[in-house]
Amino acid sequence: MNDGNGRRIGVYICHCGSNIAATVDVEAVAQFAAQLLGVVVTRTYKYMCSDPGQEIIKQDIRELGLNRVVVASCSPLMHEATFRIACEEAGLNRFLFQMANIREHCSWVHKDRWQATEKAKDLVAGAVRRVWHHRPMVERRVPVRPEALVVGGGIAGIEAALRLADAGKKVYLVEREPTIGGHMAKFDKTFPTLDCAACILTPKMVSVARHPNIELLSYSEVEEVSGVVGDFRVKVRRKARYIDEEKCTGCGQCAQVCPLEVPNEFEESLGSRRAIYRPFPQAVPGAYVIDKRGMAPCRSGCPAGVHTQGYITLIAQRRFAEAAALLRRDLPLPSACGRVCYHPCEEHCERSQLDEPVAICALKRFVSDWALEHLAEVEPLPVRSSEPVAVIGSGPAGLACANELAHRGYRVTVFERAPKAGGMLRYGIPAYRLPESILDKELAYLEKLGIEIRTNQSIHSAVALRREGYRAVFISTGAPLGRRLGIPGEELVGVVDALEFLRNVKSGSVSQLQGTVAVIGGGNSAMDAARTARRLGADQVVVVYRRSRAEMPAHDWEVAEAEAEGVRFEFLSAPLRIEGTDGKVEQLVCQRMKLGDPDASGRRRPVAIPGSEYALPVSTVIPAIGQQTDLGHLASELELTSDGQIQVDPLTLATSMAGVFAGGDVVTGPATVVDAFAAGKQAAESIDRFLQGKDLRAGRERKPPIAHPPHLTDHAPRPRVKPEELPPEKRVTSFTEIVGTLTEDQAVAEAARCLRCGVCAECLECVQQCEAGAIDHNQQDEIREIAVGTIIIATGFKLFDPSKIVRYGYGRLKNVIHALQFERLTHASGPTAGQLLTTEGKPPQAVAIIHCVGSRDVNYHEYCSRVCCMYSLKFAHLVKEKTGAEVYNLYIDVRAPGKGYEEFYKRLLHEGVHFVRGKAAEVTDVAQSPQEEGKLVVVCEDTLLGITRRIPVDMVILSPALEPAEGAAEVARKFSLSCAQGEFFLERHPKLAPVETASDGIFIAGACCGPKDIPDSVAQGAAAAACALALMDRGVVVLEPITAEIDAERCSGCKVCIASCPFSAITFDTTREVSVVQEELCKGCGTCVAACPSGVTKQKGFEDIQIFAELEGILQ
């Protein structure tokens, strides 16, 4: 039939031998097609794809002037290119061609001839209607970058990388683990030749390391992939190794001092390794790596960032000196801190989920006290900077700053107004909590370190200090003044502020009290004052607090101890006035309160009850309701807050004056000792940066991730060790310290309770050992961006978890091991140095090897894992060779289809290995006869004999299935690979394109696309490299011009398409206010076409008009 629109269509129906013609009446289809609009010729032919077949088409184009061609034959995957080229050779644009699939979609899936023929007609009609609307198009030619990415450093990835690199291409080899080598590195021997795996693998690994064209990115993972073939952009996360690969010499001294042991995954948990480790001696790169799962929660909970897990781990190993050194580096007064800290670390301790938190504070005290006794002497720290620093105030903040700076090589002078150093620790904390002798010893140690402490020195000007030559000043003068009550009678004799009272007691000017003492306030200072008053002989001590116990700011345990010591509490009571005669206190008049609505602090506001006044006869009133700074002349030099505290930048602690920093109570108002330590260290960092001319802020806000808690189920509950305490009746008679120090054995036992959340304890022992200076515990993950032309995925496999088949006893019965464990057990550098031993340490007399564990099983994996038979034979040989044991292979079928494989099987038969045809039903340790006593019994049917057998053995080796590697689904998503849930990656064609994928330029090799042995993996690695090379050597890739196109005239500029494009191929033209497709980036996925609300985005070759025409043709 003809038409008036100039369309001249030729339709060609292929018989495909009998593939199509046997089911489809091709002549009927041809007759039908001849009637369609625009069709000028229809022909059928036995093999349209053959040369003569193609020639028919070419001839018709030339002679009949065809301008559209339809071929009804097989899938376009097979021959679309063939016919397109034929069209082009006859002078027709290759895109004026359409294919109708009447084989895969029709003849192969239908039985009824009439129905199949009708369907074929519909498909042809659709193709004819569609091709009507085709437009000539020009293929895109895109340059291909000469760099390649190989993901996975197992044998397949290594092979691919080496081939590419040898061909002169730059290769990025990304490996998730700290070393390349993959599973093969764990193997002892390889089947069937029994050559040593390491001997053939390590030379290749070394070649990778040495190859100038290979950049090895170990301990790294691909984060994101974008772009198309020829120009992929890949983001690679380089996980922090905490060790400089370049500097590390691999000497291993670090691992010798590392206190932390964890199961060794390279040894399949048969052995242990340190937190700093190298998987195996020939690892590439040879650098060590630190297994740090983040910052331990306890350290993260410590305001001063003390290396808690570090000293706990060292204490557990009785390495007290190292633990103390670590603490002393962190804190200036660790013994004092171990006594007075409110230990927020223990609140964060994950052990509390199991039983009770580790007694971190008590351990700190123990090891610091131990150090005061055993390590009092120290060499002064070397001074490396010529720029002296002044610290005003010798409280915890000032000393922490001085300690930190001294360790960083600065000469520090601490100025103290009082006769003795220590600040609130000395004058504010009673001796029953912190004996002064401890403080004196710790201060003496600090002075020996080289910190100069000048007491009786009042500093009135930071400017003057700087003029004297101090290049930086830290102000930490605290909040030493008590806040006034602001009620009548405060001037009477017998009214003394809590801080002053405590100071007087410490200096000895007050040593006795009589009558009733009223302490006003509910904070820790009030508790200290009340408990001190009890010890000075007061008849009665009453704490007057205007809210209830629940609102008290003092720590619970302080209140409880005060109560135990006989302190009385008057809750919901507020002082109104103090009355007395002759200027001496006689009574305190109070008013009852009730709790109202919450105030700004979240606590309920006390409200006075009218008419509830009452008088308390007292001899002494001690207000403890807050503290204020006492800055004197310094106040005039610096900007202050409305509360009279120094105004600072919260991140850097810099004041309004350059080079002057402030921290501690003078900035925050009264806070805890550990907060003051934290402020001092924070200021020291700022001062160090300031003096070195560095940015004060850079990188300081970033907090390292917190380690995830470990599996609590792995640990048995064990109660926390408690130090000895003075009984309450003995406490009130003296200022003797209440809480004792742990004994050595107690401390070691308590430290062993630590769950080691971070794995690496950050004890920094390795840092001191490393002569190369390669270790940096502050390293961060890095993101590398690379551009490559092609990608090869070789992510390998993992072993099926045999504990899922409970009846085989893995993880439940001793001496039931899996294949990789056996590899390590028999490996010369494995946990037993190659000796084949049971867990009892004896060589086995009988061993069973169970094949098909999780393979060929509808409950787990239906597929045959292909390598298990052969490695099981290898195991049988090795067992026989090393121990002479009886070996039973329990198999369903022995599959040995490879070069030399069947011969190897025969060799094993000659070696006397028993082959029992039958799958093991179960492995049990329940004996039914004396011979089975103490053995593992494998129950199976010997199907060749037709009897059930119970085979007693000493060791059972399971040969588990191979599964896609951990995270394979994630890899598939990132690289747009096809794979069903939990299955191996899909190749483009199982026979003809085994290493190509549906994504152009992305290839797969090795066991990631299916269970595979070493020779096949190597072959695939090389094959993938060849495919990638073909693209890169040609330098250009021809792409279908099926890109999206936006009609600029009608685009509303809504940008919906830009957000929807997975390849970032659409940009916004700000001058014209329209979206524009960058053709070279567009992959033709069509997402934007569907997303465009205006319907002005179309995809070439898949235009709406073409698709609708095809549908109409099929449905007419």
Applying CB under 8 A, the residues found at the interface with other proteins are 807, 852, 856-859, 892-893, 917-922, 939-943, 946, 948-949
Q: Which CB atom, from 445 or from 810, has the smaller least distance to other proteins?
A: 810
Q: Which CB atom, from 463 or from 806, has the smaller least distance to other proteins?
A: 806
Please give the Cα distance from 137 to 670 (Å, whole number). Answer: 78
What is the closest distance, in whole angstroms, from the C-beta atom of residue 951 to other proteins in the complex? 11
What residues form DSSP beta bridges with 133? none
Q: Which CB atom, from 633 or from 807, has the smaller least distance to other proteins?
A: 807
Q: In this structure, what token pair is assigned to residue 843? A: 């060589």
What is the closest distance, in whole angstroms, from the C-beta atom of residue 852 to other proteins in the complex? 7
What residues form DSSP beta bridges with 799? 962
Angle subtended by helix axes 673-691 and 396-407, to nearest 10: 40
Q: Which CB atom, from 64 or from 806, has the smaller least distance to other proteins?
A: 806
What is the closest distance, in whole angstroms, from the C-beta atom of residue 960 to other proteins in the complex? 14
Q: Which CB atom, from 857 or from 1079, has the smaller least distance to other proteins?
A: 857
1008 contact partners, CB below 8 Å, separation of at least 6: 152, 156, 793, 794, 795, 796, 797, 964, 965, 968, 971, 984, 985
What is the closest distance, in whole angstroms, from the C-beta atom of residue 199 to other proteins in the complex? 37
What is the closest distance, in whole angstroms, from the C-beta atom of residue 850 to other proteins in the complex? 11
Q: Which CB atom, from 858 or from 1115, has the smaller least distance to other proteins?
A: 858
What is the closest distance, in whole angstroms, from the C-beta atom of residue 775 to other proteins in the complex? 51
234 contact partners, CB below 8 Å, separation of at least 6: 149, 172, 222, 224, 225, 785, 786, 787, 788, 791
Q: Which CB atom, from 857 or from 1013, has the smaller least distance to other proteins?
A: 857
Please give the Cα distance from 935 to 929 (Å, whole number). Answer: 11
Q: Which CB atom, from 436 or from 922, has the smaller least distance to other proteins?
A: 922
Q: Which CB atom, from 595 or from 927, has the smaller least distance to other proteins?
A: 927
What is the closest distance, in whole angstroms, from the C-beta atom of residue 919 to other proteins in the complex? 4
DSSP assignment of 52-117:
HHHHHHHHHHHHH---EEEEEES-HHHHHHHHHHHHHHTT--TTSEEEEE-IIIIITT---HHHHH
Residue of 689, 699, 514, 544 lying closest to 615 (CA atoms): 544
Question: Contacts from 645-650 at CB under 8 Å and sequence distance 24+?
Answer: 645/479, 645/669, 646/475, 649/696
3-state secondary structure of 1014: helix
Please give the Cα distance from 623 to 615 (Å, whole number). Answer: 17
Q: Which CB atom, from 407 or from 917, has the smaller least distance to other proteins?
A: 917
986 contact partners, CB below 8 Å, separation of at least 6: 977, 978, 979, 980, 997, 998, 1009
What is the closest distance, in whole angstroms, from the C-beta atom of residue 862 to other proteins in the complex? 9
What is the closest distance, in whole angstroms, from the C-beta atom of residue 276 to other proteins in the complex? 44
Q: Is the dihedral of CA 333, 334, 336, 340 positive or negative?
A: positive
What is the closest distance, in whole angstroms, from the C-beta atom of residue 952 to other proteins in the complex? 15
What is the closest distance, in whole angstroms, from the C-beta atom of residue 940 to other proteins in the complex? 5
Q: Which CB atom, from 242 or from 808, has the smaller least distance to other proteins?
A: 808
Residue of 845, 843, 860 lying closest to 808 (CA atoms): 860
Q: Which CB atom, from 88 or from 801, has the smaller least distance to other proteins?
A: 801
What is the Cα Rg of the chain in Å? 41
3-state secondary structure of 974: helix
In the DSSP assignment, the letter for residue 395 is S
812 contact partners, CB below 8 Å, separation of at least 6: 803, 806
Strand 97-101 and strand 68-73: the pairing is parallel
Please give the Cα distance from 884 to 1041 (Å, whole number). Answer: 67
Q: Which CB atom, from 1 or from 806, has the smaller least distance to other proteins?
A: 806
Please give the Cα distance from 929 to 699 (Å, whole number). Answer: 70
Per-residue burial over 157-171, b = 16 or more CB atoms within 10 Å of its CB, e = otherwise: bbbbbbbbbebebbb
What is the closest distance, in whole angstroms, from the C-beta atom of residue 946 to other proteins in the complex? 7
What is the closest distance, in whole angstroms, from the C-beta atom of residue 1013 to other proteins in the complex? 22
